[in-house]
């Protein structure tokens, strides 16, 4: 799923650290092109450490010392006063001003969700205390996206309310927040720097329009019925049928192996619809209880109608929270469509995924009657036609000579993309493409068949960006010493140590750590090497 370009703005490079932070405050609001020119540069970690400091990433050497300090003090649990209603009616609320803190987009917090965090840097402790004292316990989470080349800022932020705060003295504050609304960023009235927190000028985004009072309930019932019967299991893989959300953002798939190093609660960025929906949605409704929804133009609604709308909002965001991160960002950034339209669109996408998963299972069931680990696997209709004449390079690249389950590669093989010449390592193999028709249409050349083996391939691009590609067999070939000039390069992808051991350069293969993967065999020649 590609993210809408209007949802975020590019960050120009070349600014030193302090200048970046000042520019982050100065260069808003929107330019005439409808995108931001917001300063920032470098990798996501560097950018966040520059703008957020140790709020997002804990200094692991400092944390134990702070925790030891905290044990010498008695934490006082207290609840914030006022909340969203108080902020809306206050002078700062009328101006649309909110304290802000930055987070990576992978930590997107949706309306109805909660997050725990530990803030110990003085500026962020001061921000929390000021938010509770002057802004009704309300502040905003701003999100940074790293696509592997540039940093960008989402133009929509999450408005959160502090529901509990534990004073740890010198060790900072432990707090729980709940997401109560979305807002669009319009500028900054107070700059963010290394020593001070910032205040953004925001405009609250309505969660429901007038039409939703009559149409949203029907859309919600349709989505709920779909969720209760959703089955996206795909043959040939224990993972979800969709690529990693992190991969869609151009970032590493794996979450940090030491959650203790993070100062805030982190959710999964993967798609996962295996949940008990009734209780899950009830939990989000409970979180939203007492929150006055922001309705279009402040339209008045009776108590029963507002209760129904909250149920729709809870169901919508519950379903969205289980989608992968790219889908979450796409829908979270949608400021123009009604609640009903967003619910219906999400339902449509899930129905398409459901249909594709059923089709994949039907294909697998039809092929179970044959030996799937032999070259005798029944050919696809496309390949049967193609075999009638001499092998054409264009048809070969598009997979017209391939057969489901007729693997030309093994896990660990070093492969080369036939057009882009990018070198990668096979990490997983599938008998056919396991992703949706939408993904296939967006990412594969026109005319390429999905009825062929596909592979997860770990690739390190010349720019240094590490990606995991779902690649077709026909568009790749094994490393060839004669064609490629000697031994293959050592692929320095960050996920390699998790899956592979020694590198046999002469054989152009890494030794898989998994025994089943190590025992795999080549079951068919590459399409241009068949006799």
Judged against a pLDDT cut of 90, whether residue 417 lies above it is answered with: yes
Given a cut of 70, whether residue 373 has pLDDT beyond it is: no
C-alpha 71 chain-centroid distance:
36
Alpha-carbon dihedral of residues 348, 352, 357, 362, nearest 10 degrees? 130
Give the max Cα distance, the chain: 81
- Residue 252 has a pLDDT of 36
CA Rg, the chain, in Å?
A: 26
Instruction: Compute the distance between CA of residue 493 and CA of residue 499 in angstroms, rounded to an integer.
Output: 11
d(CA 4, CA 22): 27
Residue 369 lies in a domain: no
Residue 53 has pLDDT above 50, yes or no: no
| 372 in any annotated domain | no
Q: What percent of the chain has pLDDT over 70?
A: 72
How confident is the model at residue 152, as a pLDDT? 83
One domain, residues 270 and 334? yes
Q: Does residue 376 fall inside a structural domain? A: no
Asked if pLDDT for residue 75 goes beyond 60, the answer is no
Asked if the model's pLDDT at residue 396 lies above 70, the reply is yes
250: confidence class by pLDDT, cuts 50, 70, 90: very low
> Who has greater pLDDT, 155 or 79?
155
Q: Please report, rounded to a whole number, the percentage of residues in the chain having pLDDT higher than 90.
A: 42
Residue 448: HSE in the Cβ half-sphere, 13 Å Cα cutoff = 23
- Split into its structural domains, the chain has a count of 3
Asked if the structure places residue 527 within a domain, the reply is no
Mean pLDDT of 310-331: 92
Residue 235 has a pLDDT of: 63
Q: Domain range for residue 78?
A: 5-205
Is 357 in the same domain as 385?
A: no
The predicted structure's pLDDT at residue 242:
40
- Taking only the tens place, the pLDDT of each residue in 204-236 is 999 999 899 899 999 999 999 999 888 887 665
pLDDT of residue 452: 93
pLDDT at 263: 58
Q: Is residue 252 in a domain? A: yes
Across 240-260, average pLDDT: 37
Q: Which of 331, 363, 395 is the endpoint of a domain?
A: 363
Q: Which residue has the higher pLDDT, 56 or 285?
A: 285
Given 149, 180, 205, the domain boundary residue is 205
For the segment 77-104, what is each residue's pLDDT rounded down to a tens digit? 333 457 888 999 999 999 999 999 988 8
Q: Is residue 55 located within the same domain as residue 152? A: yes
* 51 lies in the same domain as 172: yes
Confidence (pLDDT) at 188: 84
- Comparing 80 with 416, the larger pLDDT belongs to 416
- Is the model more confident about 171 or about 452? 452
pLDDT value at residue 372: 45
- Cα–Cα distances in angstroms (integers) from residue 38 to residues 141, 149, 422, in the given order: 16, 15, 32
Report the pLDDT value the prediction gives residue 221, as an integer from 0 to 100: 93
């Amino acid at each position: 799923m590609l993210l809408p370009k209007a949802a975020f703005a590019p960050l120009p490079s070349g600014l030193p650290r302090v200048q970046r932070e000042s520019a982050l405050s100065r260069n808003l609001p929107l330019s005439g092109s409808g995108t931001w020119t917001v300063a920032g540069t470098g990798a996501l970690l560097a950018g966040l450490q520059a703008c957020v400091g140790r709020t997002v990433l804990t200094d692991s050497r400092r944390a134990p010392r702070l925790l030891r300090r905290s044990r010498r003090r008695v934490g006082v649990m207290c609840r914030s006063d006022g909340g969203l209603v108080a902020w809306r009616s206050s002078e700062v609320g009328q101006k649309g001003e909110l304290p802000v803190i930055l987070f990576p987009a992978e930590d997107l917090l949706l309306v109805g969700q909660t997050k725990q965090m530990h803030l110990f840097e003085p500026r962020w402790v001061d921000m929390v205390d000021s938010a509770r004292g002057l802004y009704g316990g309300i502040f905003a989470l701003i999100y940074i996206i790293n696509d592997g080349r540039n940093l960008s800022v989402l133009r929509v932020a999450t408005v959160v309310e502090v529901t509990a705060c534990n004073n740890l003295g010198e060790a900072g504050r432990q707090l729980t927040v709940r997401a109560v609304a979305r807002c669009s960023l319009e500028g900054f009235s107070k700059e963010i720097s290394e020593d001070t927190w910032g205040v953004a000028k925001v405009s609250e985004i309505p969660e429901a329009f007038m039409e939703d009072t009559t149409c949203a309930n029907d859309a919600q019932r349709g989505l709920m019925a779909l969720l209760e019967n959703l089955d996206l299991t795909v043959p040939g893989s224990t993972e979800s049928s969709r690529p990693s959300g992190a991969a869609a953002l151009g970032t590493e798939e794996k979450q940090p192996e030491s959650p203790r190093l993070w100062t805030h609660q982190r959710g999964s960025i993967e798609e996962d619809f295996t949940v008990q929906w009734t209780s899950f949605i009830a939990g989000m409704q409970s979180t939203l209880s007492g929150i006055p929804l922001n309705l279009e133009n402040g339209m008045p609604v009776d108590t029963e109608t507002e209760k129904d709308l909250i149920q729709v909002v809870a169901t919508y965001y519950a379903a969205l929270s289980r989608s992968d991160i790219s889908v979450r960002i796409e829908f979270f950034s949608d400021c123009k469509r009604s609640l009903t339209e967003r619910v219906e669109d999400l339902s449509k996408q899930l129905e398409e995924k459901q249909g594709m998963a059923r089709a994949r299972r039907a294909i697998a069931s039809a092929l179970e009657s044959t030996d799937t680990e032999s070259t005798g696997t029944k050919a696809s209709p496309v390949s049967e036609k193609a075999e009638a004449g001499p092998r054409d390079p264009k048809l070969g690249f598009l997979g017209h000579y391939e057969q489901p389950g007729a693997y030309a590669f093994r896990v660990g093989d070093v492969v080369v993309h036939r057009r882009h010449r990018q070198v990668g390592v096979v990490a997983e193999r599938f008998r056919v493409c396991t992703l949706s028709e939408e993904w296939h249409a967006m990412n594969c050349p026109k005319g390429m068949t999905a009825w062929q083996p596909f592979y997860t391939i770990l690739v390190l691009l010349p720019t240094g960006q590490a990606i995991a590609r779902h690649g077709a067999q026909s568009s790749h070939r094994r490393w060839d010493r004669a064609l490629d000039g000697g031994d293959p390069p050592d692929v320095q992808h960050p996920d390699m140590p998790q899956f592979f051991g020694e590198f046999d350069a002469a054989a152009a293969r890494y030794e898989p750590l998994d025994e089943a993967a190590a025992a795999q065999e080549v079951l068919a020649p590459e399409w241009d090497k068949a006799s």
